[in-house]
Structure 1
């Protein structure tokens, strides 16, 4: 009798407002579901009389709103050979003033393991779910959040017309050696075999800001020592991944943390996995506000893990 860890993601909640970024997010969500067997919950929050599900300025009833959302979802899911009537797909259309709390409330209600959302959506009255709402969700979500940003190269149409699934070619995990590191790497350990891609663990040693009266040589020596120690720690953290047969590389950069992380993780084909807060004082190196900067600027998907989002490591018996 073999044992296997419980899949890290079993229930996905997808914020869907039919914008380009939410279409990209849906593609990644469907891809994750196909790899893990997870169920999909698509959610639309309407807060204006000018939303995409209104016709002629007339507000539909709650039942009509739900029916129209399901019909639009049918079009969105059709390229993936999925439908709102499939047993693994559920659609939720709700009304409310603040989308983020409603999204978080729904995630708690269905015990979601992952929230998937775009990071740029409609503007003005039609801006329904994505954008800064995604950052608010990230700060309060009971589970990890996968964000997907609309790229500058995306067209102007609201409908992709074709499946836009995952094209992940590598996983990058920025590490700051805080308590969140173990939690984030727990997700990396489970995701890397699913995608069958190499993993890069990276750390940034910030340039010391020393007064000019100090010798430059001294600061350089300290930085080199810090880099060597960081690489040793990275290799230690990567051992469990390597033991699973995952190709792991280690990179230590020196520079300004936010800019360096964005440059290293901003590629379209890179899935970035990182925590949402780091250490404080002189040892605060990587996470926290850096995560939000990466989410705003990176072209690839970002899996952000809060301290409360633990990985279930309990084994389950499989016949």
Structure 2
């Protein structure tokens, strides 16, 4: 079997759906003997201009997620993925996940934690599918 995907990224916001996307990403990474990048984005754009949600709050959320990401990384390695990178970024999920370097496939869930944003301005999944420079796999939960 030819391994088409060498670098796979999966977006995780710790919703049930995104954890299902992670499970799919682990399977695809194993099948392709690919490097898996687990990416969690603290969506600072959803904070809006509310002063209570300043960069200090975002940094606290980032630190908490980094601890959780280590557990996900260990899980992927235990499942048989050889190389796993886990990263937490601050910003917009749709911007960060569509601008990852050297990624062949992005795996995301159809829905996540931010259901309000989906009703108002469209889902992250839709924008990622439209803007990505590589293949995108949308996992439905």
TM-score (normalizing by structure 1)? 0.36
Task: Describe the superposition over 1:178-220 as per-residue Cα deviations: whole angstroms up to 9, x where unpaired.
Answer: xxxxxxxxxxxxxxxxxxxxxxxxxxxxxxxxxxxxxxxxxxx
Sort the Cα spacing of 1:87 and 1:44 in 2 relative to 1 into closer, same or farther, 3 A.
Answer: same
- Which of 32, 41, 46 matches 2:42? 46
Structure 1: stretches of 5+ with no match in the other structure: 52-56, 151-319
Give 1:10 deviation, angstroms.
Answer: 0.7
Q: Residue 15 of structure 1 corresponds to which residue in structure 2?
A: 11
Task: Describe the superposition over 1:139-172 as per-residue Cα deviations: whole angstroms up to 9, x where unpaired.
Answer: 111111111112xxxxxxxxxxxxxxxxxxxxxx
In structure 1, C-alpha distance between the alignment counterparts of 2:117 and 2:95, rounded to whole Å? 18
Between structure 1 and structure 2, the one with the greater Rg is 1
Note if contact 1:49-1:59 (Cα within 8 Å) is conserved in structure 2.
Answer: no
Superposition map of 1:152-191 within 5 A: none
2:95 aligned with 1:104: no
In structure 2, C-alpha distance between the alignment counterparts of 1:78 and 1:90, rounded to whole Å? 10
In structure 2, C-alpha distance between the alignment counterparts of 1:125 and 1:92, rounded to whole Å? 25
Note if contact 2:73-2:86 (Cα within 8 Å) is conserved in structure 1.
Answer: no
Give 1:69 deviation, angstroms.
Answer: 2.8
Note if contact 1:23-1:76 (Cα within 8 Å) is conserved in structure 2.
Answer: no
Give 1:68 deviation, angstroms.
Answer: 3.3
| Number of residue-to-residue matches in the alignment | 130
Superposition map of 1:56-95 within 5 A: 59=57, 61=59, 65=62, 67-82=63-78, 88-95=83-90
Sort the Cα spacing of 1:132 and 1:60 in 2 relative to 1 into closer, same or farther, 3 A.
Answer: closer
Sort the Cα spacing of 1:11 and 1:81 in 2 relative to 1 into closer, same or farther, 3 A.
Answer: closer
TM-score (normalizing by structure 2)? 0.75
Q: Any idea what SS the aligned residue of 2:112 has? A: coil
Sort the Cα spacing of 1:76 and 1:35 in 2 relative to 1 into closer, same or farther, 3 A.
Answer: same
Sort the Cα spacing of 1:81 and 1:71 in 2 relative to 1 into closer, same or farther, 3 A.
Answer: same
Note if contact 1:10-1:38 (Cα within 8 Å) is conserved in structure 2.
Answer: yes
Sort the Cα spacing of 1:70 and 1:88 in 2 relative to 1 into closer, same or farther, 3 A.
Answer: farther
Q: Alpha carbon RMSD of aligned pairs, Å?
A: 3.2
Kindly indicate which of the two structures has a greater share of residues assigned to helix.
Answer: 2
